[in-house]
A and B are shown apart, each in its own frame.
Chain A
Amino acid sequence: MSVAEAPAARAVVRGSSSGARLREILFPAALLLCIGFAMLTLVVLLVDVAVDGIPVLSGEFLTGFPSQIFPERSGIQSALVGTLLLMAVCAVFIVPVGTATAIYLEEYADNNRWWNRLIEVNIQNLAAVPSIVYGILGLAFLVRGPLELGRVVLAGALTLGLLVLPVVIIVGREAIRAVPSSIREGSMALGATQWQTIWKQVLPGALPGIATGVILALSRAIGETAPLIVVGAASFARFNPNDLTSDPFSALPIQILAWVQDPQDEFRALAAGAILVLLFLLLLMNAGAIYLRNRFEQKW
């Protein structure tokens, strides 16, 4: 309370002056300007990308392959296919691993054990590791080193998966925690084992929350460029990867980067077009997350 008393005492003295009243108007106005600036930036950014990118959007742009010589014949098919494959494999990896970790930490882990606390702190730390460092991990362990997968979709997808796993775990834990313990106790009282309780009662209740976490994680992964650069995604892939473990692959952010760095304006416009496709995918994912949240959210 001592924090509050000292300034408030001074406030009584100044309260009625007209300067103070002016401040009461100007202060929120200045704050509103801050928010206005943030919103304006977003609008300007979207308009800038749309103005540059809409002219290049066409069926050929979606189905063509990138060319380093002819911008008008360039397309994003290999990048789009690469991104979709990356997301699919990434989802197959993060859904079971992320959910299992969240269940373990919420339902089984005894917080008095040092290893459980270590896992928790470790996940917090992993969430703050720069994405380029995950790229180095992918390069050293997945592309080369022990697994020796090479510069393939599987290596890229697992790298992205490790990067966004903390998001799935953190959001998933919140969803599991939101299931009231009376549900668990009721199930156990009826003779269900702990796992039966989790599988039949807790998980169904937490599912929308977990799904939201997975979508959030994937919408982070879809825009990640840095780890894919280090893992070695191809900038100008002339064909789609045939499978996950042998062919080189590209991805939308990598293709955008390659075009942004081209000094010719025609290629920059292609980058804007590819950004629009990327933003559209992001929008779809976020709409899915909002739908899940509204449609299935349980009120306990």
Chain B
Amino acid sequence: MEASSTTAAGGPRPNLTRGRTPRSVGEQVIKALLFVAALISIATTVGIVVSLAAETIEFFSQVGIFEYLLGTKWTPLAGGDQKSFGVLPLISGTLYLTALGLIVAVPLGLGSAIYLAEYASPRARRIIKPVLELLAGIPTIVLGYFALTFITPVVLQGIFGIEVLIFNALSAGLALGVLILPVVATLADDALRSVPSSLREGAFGLGASKPQVVLRVVFPAALSGIVAALVLAASRAIGETVIVLVAGGASANLGIDPRESFQNMAAFIAQTARGDIAAQSVEFLTIFAVGTTLFVMTLILNAISIRFVRRFQQVYE
């Protein structure tokens, strides 16, 4: 497909376009316009990097880089002596909440994916897939509402009788899990289904049972695609703002007690951007420094995910 369309475009065209007829000039103008549109995506990336970098450099002219990266107390909005710019509690809070989300979403998402890819009848797929898409389309503010008004009071405090604070890591983590569960399920489903059926048939032919075929043949064969799905899901959870803003609370916490309040980087940015803080003050510049930290973290995760996807595409194409 790809190859034939390029020959159609590249093969006979040069002879016609070389002579500068009005028609060929028009064609060139259109191509140039389309290219400019494509450049908007590059401009977006450049814009993100520039907007983050400029103010981040300004931030580090006022706060030491090691104080920021290694400090264990994050209270940039406090007054006087209490002010401290150690970002570690925010980073650990982000990773901790993400880990809670993954604990929920990985087993449930992978279980759903395996059922969808290996067990579900075409009819069952036609019902389950749209439900997962529906779940994936729920805005995160709704999940935040759900975490604050249902998971915390009804599920955690009511059913399980856990003494959690109103804003706590557990409910935010569970809601993050609900957020990324469909991501894990649909992407892992794709990975499992791209395993050629000859592998399954070979294993069945040797007398393996269905669970053995699924767990020891298909699953390992799809592993790189599944890992890519998990990395992508983790990066969604790391960058999530509103669930944590609504249900996680506003304290940068270096601990590991899930009943306490935790904040992540994105929620801190949102909280600070909403407050009445003078632009160009050092408190305001924290938005950009934390934004850079978050951006770099998700960029690294995305690079890992793309690498895994490439490996997995090479095997079966």
**Interface residues, chain A, CB within 8 Å of chain B?**
1, 3-5, 7-12, 14-15, 20, 23-24, 27-28, 30-35, 37-39, 41-42, 44-45, 48-49, 52, 96-97, 100-101, 103-110, 118-119, 121-126, 128-137, 139-141, 144-145, 162, 165-166, 169, 177, 180-181, 184-185, 188, 193-195, 219-220, 222-226, 229-230, 232, 235, 253, 256-257, 260-261, 268, 271-272, 275, 278-279, 282, 286
Contacts and interface: CB of A to CB of B under 8 A. Distances in A.
A145 to B, nearest CB: 7
B45 A126 contact: yes
A248 B238 CA distance: 30
Contact of A224 (B9, B30, B111, B139): B139
Interface string B93-119: 000000000000001111110111001
Nearest to B33: A100
Contact of A15 (B48, B146, B209, B216): B209
A20 B51 contact: no
Interface in B111-170: 111-112, 114-116, 119, 128, 131-132, 134-135, 137-146, 148-150
Secondary structure call for the B interface: helix
A181 B10 CA distance: 13
B172 interface: no
Given A119-B41, A128-B232, A23 B211 contact: yes
B44 A223 contact: no
A188 B8 contact: yes
Contact of A136 (B38, B42, B52, B178): B52
Interface-central residue, A3, A12, A96, A123, by most chain B CB under 10 Å: A3
A62 B199 CA distance: 57
Interface of B: 1-2, 4-6, 8-10, 12-13, 16, 23-24, 26-27, 30-31, 33-35, 37-42, 44-45, 47-48, 50-52, 54-55, 107-112, 114-116, 119, 128, 131-132, 134-135, 137-146, 148-150, 178, 181-182, 185, 199, 202-203, 206-212, 214, 216-217, 220-221, 232, 235, 238-242, 245-246, 266, 269-270, 273-274, 279, 287-288, 291, 294-295, 298-299, 301-302, 305-306
19 contacts: A8-B212, A9-B206, A11-B216, A32-B119, A41-B135, A44-B150, A108-B31, A108-B34, A118-B42, A132-B239, A140-B51, A140-B55, A165-B41, A219-B137, A223-B137, A256-B142, A260-B144, A260-B145, A279-B142
Secondary structure call for the A interface: helix
Contacts of A129: 48, 239, 295, 298-299
Given A122-B45, A130-B298, A229-B274, A8 B269 contact: no
A5 B208 CA distance: 10
Contact of A141 (B23, B34, B51): B51
A35 B182 contact: no
Given A3-B220, A15-B209, A260-B144, A145 B44 contact: no
B4 A38 contact: no
Contacts of A145: 51
Contacts of B140: 223, 225
Given A97-B37, A97-B40, A126-B41, A35 B246 contact: no
A223 B108 CA distance: 25
